A and B are shown apart, each in its own frame.
Chain A
Amino acid sequence: MAARGATLQLGGRLTVSRSAHRPGSVRLTATFMRVGIMNEMQYRINFFLQLLQSLLNVGTALIVLAVVFSKTNDLDGWTRPQLLAVMGVFTLVGGIIRTFIQPNMERTVNEVREGKLDFALTKPADAQLLISIRDVRFWQLTDVLVGLVVLTVALVQLESITQWQDLLAFVVLLFSGLISIYCFWLMLASASFWLVRINEVQELFDGLFRAGQYPVGIYPGWLRYGLTFVVPLAFAITVPSEAVTGQLAWQSVVVMIGFTAVLLVLSRWCWKRGLRRYGGASA
């Protein structure tokens, strides 16, 4: 216990000196990204293997879509090219999540269990920022490439002229949606402070994420709300898809921005609460 008290005191002193030369968050993030990318660049052949996997995945999804549309002309009002657009956005968003968000959160969950999180906590930067930027699985971006191709094909098939406003709305909403997914993951990761062994949390996320392949509107009410306000897939995939296919309602945008702001605050609170429970391995 004495040793633990000493560590805490040290932590307190660090806080004082911290503000003096804390590097800017943007610069810190850029540095971590650069190191991460340099690491991944050593394994160039992984790009092709990852690309192969992305293509296999999309190929499978296309076959499923073909079977669905061999039995019907529209799914709850969504035509085939519209659903293809959703699939493109789904692949793209999945790629970004697996590149930037998931590797960091999985690492944090593991480090909480193994007590290795100490190494991140003792550094003079905000712990939440630090655990969110340490890893980048650069080659997963092949999903983003493939997703963009699928989305483009869908837009061509839709034959609607996408306005630059639509594209701008798409990018902004996509970014906001990704933030909400990040918050959701951070809350899942924070749960590991209480539950300790939750490697399965990744399976949970992957499973739920699949539901985003289809627009959330097709699901029954309870599930639709769940996929909007519990697991914010509607915001990350459906709403941006609506923007790019010209079906966006301004109400969704307002709800989405408001909800993302709430999530940002809530997830930080969860993280801080969890951190207080953290024992560490050496303490």
Chain B
Amino acid sequence: MITLYTANARIAVQTQIQYRAANYFYMIGMIAEPVVYLVVWSTIANANGGSIDGLTAKDFAAYYIVWTLVRNMNIVLTPFAWEERIKDGTFSGQLMKPVHPIHEDLAQFMGWKLVVLVLWIPLAIVLALLFKPSLSPTMLQCAVFFFAIWGAYFIRAIMQWSLGLITFWTTRVGAIFEAYYLSELLLSGRVFPLVLTPHWFQTLTWFFPFRWCFSFPIVALTGPIENRDLFIGLGMQLAWILFSIGLLAIVWPRAVRRFSSVGG
């Protein structure tokens, strides 16, 4: 199994490194998003006498620059890919293999991340020079961050892989996926740091996997966060990973049973 992962990851590295221009296009498009949020919130903080809810412009800069790394780690197979896979017959081939097809996807996206990480560094330096973040994590925070970004990857990858399986029941999946993404946008800390939201809203986010994929890894590095919360966060990530594996175990066999291909 480890060989399967390393082999697939290596293929992904070799492939993606050839498409540097495409990868940069992708990343610049992606980085535009947090820059918008960052500008909006620092404008408000500055107009408000330097900070809102204890966050200064420099804190927002740290939050959204770490955001770009977390977001890169968060890139997973889009659920929209299933439509294409079923239509063009790729899926039939995947079914023939002796291992669960999710492993191949997980491994390839992990490999891609190594390339993305290298390409990300210059962009992060430019953003840091432009927005001057204040960031001073402890050793423990750095260690937790390292695990948290992978935890976020696995939650998001397995959840969205399972979500994509809806395609086996209906082809009109656009609105469903859109609703999922927009919930994620609001409940994850992707648009605004969750500390800015009302208390009831913050409680609500505990019932969804989203905050463990964005807010938690980001705040783990930028702070302020108690040591206790760092471990609670990792625990919650583990719980959601187990939950998503359980979900997949239930949905996958039923989805495959619905699949029929022509001449596949």
B-binding residues in A (CB < 8 A)? 45-46, 49-50, 52-53, 56-57, 59-60, 63-64, 67-68, 71-72, 74-76, 195, 197-201, 203-208, 210-211, 213-214, 218-220, 222-223
Contacts and interface: CB of A to CB of B under 8 A. Distances in A.
B48 A200 contact: no
A213 B25 CA distance: 21
Contacts of A201: 25
Name the interface size band of chain B. Answer: 35 or more
Given A68-B44, A76-B43, A60 B172 contact: no
Contact of A211 (B35, B175, B178): B35
Nearest to A219: B39
Contacts, number: 98
Nearest to A207: B29
A225 B21 CA distance: 23
A72 to B, nearest CB: 5
Given A60-B182, A68-B40, A76-B43, A204 B174 contact: no
B172 A49 contact: yes
Interface residues of chain A: helix, strand, loop or mixed (majority) = helix
Contacts of B30: 203, 207
A208 B185 CA distance: 17
Interface of B: 19, 21-23, 25-26, 28-33, 35-36, 39-40, 43-44, 47-48, 52-53, 130, 172, 174-175, 178-179, 182, 185-186, 191-192, 196-197
B25 A53 contact: no
B196 A71 contact: yes
Given A67-B192, A223-B39, A211 B32 contact: yes
A56 B36 contact: no
B22 A72 contact: no
A188 to B, nearest CB: 9
B44 A71 contact: yes
Contacts of A218: 39-40, 43
